[in-house]
Structure 1
Amino acid sequence: MRVLTRSPEYEKEPVIMETINAIQFAGYAYDANLHYCDGTPLPMNKMSLARLSTDSPSEPPLPSPYLVQLQRSFANALKQFSVEEECAQPWPERQAPKFWNRSWLLFFRRLWHFVLRCFRTWKYRRMLPPCDQIYVNQIYESSSVGLIAKRDKGNETAALALLEAEAPDVPAPLLIDTFEDGDGNSIAAMTQVPGVQAISVLYRMTYQERRQFADDLGAAIAQIRQISNMSKPLFTGISKIRSQGSKIHDPCVGYEACGPFENEWDWNMFMTGGRPEFWRSSHPEAFLSEHESKFTHADLHLNNNLVDAGKLSGIIDWEISGFYPEYWEFAKGMHAGLNSRSSRPIHRQIWQGKYEAKGNWWRLSCLFFRGGLRALKSEGRRVRAQNTKGQKTPTRK
């Protein structure tokens, strides 16, 4: 059985449709009226995988992938027409004025916490949708407030509590409560932030609106970078007890939770797979100076920035935030995430070349993000295994 999963020009063997049992391709819907053959609606503004299959590829064969590519070209052309029509329309009415302000939300939370925890947990579980693998779900929605239930490992709840105490003006969700679902998973209940994902409306934002969006995002970043690291480790996740460090959950640092790191030498040793001397020889400018520890969102791609009527309205998904090297927000915004290419102009405006001038460290980070990290970590494990057999561990110079 042969399945075609990519364009014919990338196939090693000639594509003969009479021998193809299935075609798998990705689709992106810009129209809410599109449906699958069984009537299921195609999700809007979301990548979806589609699969066409047949038991007898010769009678008749599946449509040629070249026809699918041709249809894609026509669809993109039609999309441009719809974009021009949409951009000519004014922004929808702002949602933010309809939502409760922060004072009302804090008052509601205070009253709600007078209720016994056992009853609150029972109520939350009743509100959860009937699914086995919950990650993010909206458990309450109205015209003035919404509640989100999200599986949590402790880092995001601690981060939201820290933001509430130290940077209340940052447009982040407000933590309402924590509880365990029926399977013992820790769940965080937080407020819904008004707006839509920035990536879904970036195409219709004017250059002036984009500049203002970058300024507002930069102001929020400046606020969170003022939060002090009160723990002993220099680079760490967020702990409920501020004097203690915790593991880092950023997948660009490690495939599993790792750290915390006491100093930048330990961080560099880990990030270079135990071979900082190799990177120092090829990128000496990256190791010329030490970097401060700054509170970092670490995932500021355009899916995690919300826009309401063309303006920044919220920053969500703080689960991998922590205290990272001061360049990390820039490096992640430029070279990691689902839409780093679209977010680069925004981050360049925010940072004004600050870390590009400090030795192009982001180029080194880019190597980690785009495949080098796996090889480096593998090499690092090999080096550490040799060290445990009696070889001398590299010392800090």
Structure 2
Amino acid sequence: MQFVRQHTSVPVPKVYMAFEHKGRVYILMERLRGQMIGQGWVYRSKESKDAVLRSLKTMVEEWRAIPAPEKAGVANVDGGPISDPRLPKQFLWGPFSSVDEFHRELRNGIESEHLTGEQPHMPGFDRFISLHEQSWPASVFTHGDLSSSNILCRGDEITGIIDWETAGWYPNYWEYTNAWNVNPRDTFWQQEVDMFVTPWPDALEMETLRRKYFGDY
């Protein structure tokens, strides 16, 4: 959050103190005014929804424009491991020197040359591999958890973006696919994601296949 405050105008809580007590880390931060954007969303007018989503799009574009460190790869804001409870197998991942290395870990090291036959038990897996192995641009700064519960509003004003623990340098599609899949009970929010993050339909297909074969949540 301090990094975001230093590099953008995005409203985030001020951090007053961080400390460890009995093996657990605590953060004392500002309490922002507002309610979760999902509360009453279905009752908003189209004009109100459009105004809020335009503001959110501007904020997302602002943090995605933060210049990445040289050879950022896929890592947290300080270059260390990423933390995302939705990823299978373990809590901490990496850091990774490149998007390719990150993708390889996500698919358990399986390469296209390992695929033989038509693999009827894994339909679409060859497509998944080919999407992973395409050329990807440099990583961008990503919140990684843009569910409706992490965006606070008062009226049509966004008063805060919260829960930055998954933030870091990720493939450019990660913000989109995670916002789309972040909460299985947040299906109404899926209809809005294309309005504030550049759509990546191929990446969404790729992530759907990854979650099918390797797990999520």
Q: How would you bin the TM-score normalised by the shorter chain? A: 0.7 to 0.9
What is the CA distance between 1:216 and its match in structure 2?
Answer: 0.9
Name the CA shift for 1:319/1:231 in 2 (closer, same or farther; >3 Å). Answer: farther
Give the unaligned 5+ runs of structure 2. Answer: 116-123
Q: Which of 78, 91, 95 is the matching residue for 1:260?
A: 95
Q: Percent identity?
A: 21
Q: State TM-score, norm by structure 1.
A: 0.48
Question: Match for residue 7 of structure 2?
Answer: 166
Q: Which of 43, 46, 58 is the matching residue for 1:219?
A: 58
Residues 50-96 of structure 1 show CA distances to partners (whole Å, capped at 9, x for unaligned) of xxxxxxxxxxxxxxxxxxxxxxxxxxxxxxxxxxxxxxxxxxxxxxx
Question: Match for residue 247 of structure 1?
Answer: 81
Distance, in Å, in 2 between the alignment partners of 1:180 and 1:222 is 34
Number of residue equivalences: 204
Give the unaligned 5+ runs of structure 1. Answer: 1-159, 240-244, 376-397
What is the CA distance between 1:270 and its match in structure 2?
Answer: 0.7
3-state secondary structure, aligned to 1:303: helix
Name the CA shift for 1:365/1:223 in 2 (closer, same or farther; >3 Å). Answer: same
Q: Which of 21, 27, 37 is the matching residue for 1:198?
A: 37
Q: Which has the higher contact order (CA 8 A, sep 6+)?
A: 2
Q: Which of 4, 15, 21 is the matching residue for 1:175?
A: 15
Residues 295-340 of structure 1 show CA distances to partners (whole Å, capped at 9, x for unaligned) of 1000000011111124322110001111100000000111222544
Within a 5 Å distance, the mapping from 1:67-82 to structure 2 comes to none
Within a 5 Å distance, the mapping from 1:83-102 to structure 2 comes to none
Name the CA shift for 1:276/1:213 in 2 (closer, same or farther; >3 Å). Answer: farther
Question: Match for residue 203 of structure 2?
Answer: 361
Letter aligned with residue 257 of structure 1: L
3-state secondary structure, aligned to 2:196: helix
- Judge conservation of contact 1:209–1:311 (CA < 8 Å) in 2: no
Distance, in Å, in 2 between the alignment partners of 1:314 and 1:338 is 23
Question: Match for residue 315 of structure 1?
Answer: 161
Q: State TM-score, norm by structure 2.
A: 0.85
Name the CA shift for 1:180/1:288 in 2 (closer, same or farther; >3 Å). Answer: closer
Residue 271 in structure 1 maps to residue 106 in structure 2: yes
Letter aligned with residue 178 of structure 1: A
Residues 133-158 of structure 1 show CA distances to partners (whole Å, capped at 9, x for unaligned) of xxxxxxxxxxxxxxxxxxxxxxxxxx
- Judge conservation of contact 1:280–1:287 (CA < 8 Å) in 2: no
Name the CA shift for 1:309/1:166 in 2 (closer, same or farther; >3 Å). Answer: same
Residues 227-260 of structure 1 show CA distances to partners (whole Å, capped at 9, x for unaligned) of 2222644110122xxxxx1111012334320101
Over the residues paired in the alignment, what is the CA RMSD in angstroms?
A: 2.1
Distance, in Å, in 2 between the alignment partners of 1:352 and 1:259 is 26
